[in-house]
Structure 1
Amino acid sequence: MFTEAKQFFRKSIEPAALLFARLGFTPNGLTLLGLFLGLLSCALYVWNRNTVLFGCLMIFWGLFDVIDGALARVTNRATKFGSYLDAVCDRVFESFALLAVGWVSGYWKMCFLLMIGGLLISYAKARAAMEVQISNDEWPDFMERAERDVIFVFGLLVWGLFPLLKVFGKDVLFWTLLGLSIAVYGSFFQRVLRARRLIQSRG
């Protein structure tokens, strides 16, 4: 669902990508800059504990995550390593963002569980690709990264704006992390079953 919206957004962000091209940025350089700014925002969040600011900075980081790909396309410099670097940087930032939220909120166990789930989803697909040839179109998962990011940031912002809001005695962030954990591990098992089918049919 959100993946299709992201594809549409990538087209509309091309003017910004052209601006970065004129400033001399390379796609990989922009990816690394985005990671640096993302990690800096995590450190800032741990220091000042401003959840609303962190949520806004995550949205800003998400723009970088889209612009670097658009920059690669408009400058005709898209490479396989660039895609690999972008994916690795995504995992690094996602992990540190969850660690920062766990530090500030106290929901260490849930954040750690969600972080492991995100890494397992990536590995389930990557390992399948080592066994048989697959394409991205063959992985229409229940909960993809774009969906996780939107729900995570939304939950953060609501929790930051209304920290005393409770649902069945728990705050919004608790339910956000719980819902994401269930969806992530459901998607992981979905990928394992899909990998089993693809490997058996092509192996």
Structure 2
Amino acid sequence: MLDTHGRAVVQPIISKTAFVFLKMGLKANHVTIIAFLIGIFASVLVYLKQPVAGVAVLWLSGFLDAVDGSMARRSKTSTPWGTVLDVTLDRIVEAGILVALAFRHQDPSVLLWFLFLAISIIFTMTVFLTVGALSEKESMKSFYYQPGLAERTEGFILFSLMVLFQSHIVFWTIVFLIVEIITGLQRLIEAYKILK
């Protein structure tokens, strides 16, 4: 929701950063990989009990993930491979945070909630990617991005709450799970309307 409706607020900063990186000779895929490595480092920080630093680094990774797309569009170098790389590495960064939290909270009941959350993310992303691949609707990105209650920014907010408030880890995991299920169902209903 925030990505769809709030992007215009931060787009000038994203565009300026994209312009600077292109002037430096970087390509969009370079920044995709840099964002990925920074995101993995965020997971390491979470595992090492550095939650504030981990969240800060995670958001830096997310910012660079937005920059790489702007770079590709600005330089007219968007490719299907770039999209696959970007979407795949994004999911690994998110999984890394969940894995780091799982190592910190090895209680079976907590791990079960993490499993449910992972399944809900898989469900939501499956609908999102399938609709994107099959839909003929236009988008500024390389395929149709379904809007929804939880987009990447909401995911980062919820991961941040899980990391920063680990004494309430089950509560925030359940909130994240509910948001993901609502988003998946919302996208499934839209998919039925546009693809039937």
Using the size of structure 2 for normalisation, the TM-score is 0.82
Q: Distance in 2 between matches of 1:131 and 1:60?
A: 32
Aligned to 2:185: 189
User: Would the aligned equivalents of 1:31 and 1:68 in 2 still touch at CA under 8 Å?
Assistant: yes
Aligned to 1:148: 155
Structure 2 counterpart SS, 1:24: coil
Q: Distance in 2 between matches of 1:138 and 1:27?
A: 19
Q: CA deviation at 1:84?
A: 2.8
Listed as ranges, the gaps of 5+ residues in structure 2 are: none
User: Would the aligned equivalents of 2:18 and 2:70 in 1 still touch at CA under 8 Å?
Assistant: yes
Aligned to 1:95: 95
Q: Distance in 2 between matches of 1:138 and 1:88?
A: 15
The amino acid across from 2:36 in the alignment is L
Aligned to 2:41: 40
Q: Distance in 2 between matches of 1:65 and 1:129?
A: 19
2:124 matched to 1:121? Answer: yes
Q: Distance in 2 between matches of 1:132 and 1:19?
A: 34
- Worse-matched range after superposition: 128-137 or 145-154: 128-137
Q: Distance in 2 between matches of 1:62 and 1:34?
A: 7
Note the aligned Cα RMSD (angstroms): 2.4
Moved over 6 A (4+): none
User: Would the aligned equivalents of 1:91 and 1:119 in 2 still touch at CA under 8 Å?
Assistant: no
- Larger of the two Rg values belongs to structure: 1
User: Would the aligned equivalents of 2:46 and 2:163 in 1 still touch at CA under 8 Å?
Assistant: no
Q: Percent identity?
A: 20
Q: CA deviation at 1:131?
A: 5.0
Listed as ranges, the gaps of 5+ residues in structure 1 are: 164-170
Structure 2 counterpart SS, 1:25: coil
